[in-house]
């Protein structure tokens, strides 16, 4: 994942959480314009510590934030949860089917 993708995801999850740039900046104890500068100028990345605060403030997990296809994360997670409950022979049969 490159710098612009990380910044796009910050914006995506901030909007999904219905947080303004100002509100998110305040939630993560940064300067009021921090998120605005990050999203508009795209000239820097937050530190790992700040990125983790952003992820938490937006109500998502690190796994969801970095998942390759954020649009299908919820359904993929449901499928994986159900697959984990299957006995091994059924998992093997599904693999053959796929």
Q: Are residues 12 and 45 in the same domain?
A: yes
Give 10's contacts (C-beta < 8 A, 6+ positions apart). Answer: 35, 38, 39, 46, 51, 54, 58
Instruction: Please report the pLDDT score of residue 81 as a whole number.
Output: 92
58 near 11, Cβ under 8 Å? no
Q: Are residues 57 and 80 in the same domain?
A: no
Instruction: Please report the pLDDT score of residue 69 as a whole number.
Output: 92
Q: Are residues 15 and 46 in the same domain?
A: yes
Q: pLDDT tens, 1-60?
A: 899 999 999 999 999 999 999 999 999 999 999 999 999 987 788 999 999 999 999 999
Q: Are residues 8 and 51 in the same domain?
A: yes
Q: Are residues 15 and 52 in the same domain?
A: yes
Residue 65 or residue 1, greater confidence: 65
Instruction: Please report the pLDDT score of residue 41 as a whole number.
Output: 85
Q: How many domains does the chain have?
A: 2
Instruction: Please report the pLDDT score of residue 53 as a whole number.
Output: 98
Which residues span the domain enclosing 92? Answer: 69-98
Q: Are residues 50 and 76 in the same domain?
A: no
Q: Are residues 33 and 75 in the same domain?
A: no
């Amino acid at each position: 994942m490159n710098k612009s993708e990380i910044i796009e995801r910050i914006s995506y999850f901030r909007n999904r959480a219905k947080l303004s740039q100002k509100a998110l900046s305040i939630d993560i104890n940064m300067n009021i314009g921090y998120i605005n500068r990050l999203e508009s100028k795209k000239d820097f990345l937050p530190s790992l510590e700040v990125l983790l605060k952003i992820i938490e403030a937006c109500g998502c997990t690190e796994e969801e934030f970095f998942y390759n296809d954020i649009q299908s994360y919820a359904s993929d997670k449901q499928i994986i949860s159900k697959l984990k409950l299957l006995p091994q022979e059924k998992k093997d049969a599904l693999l053959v089917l796929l």
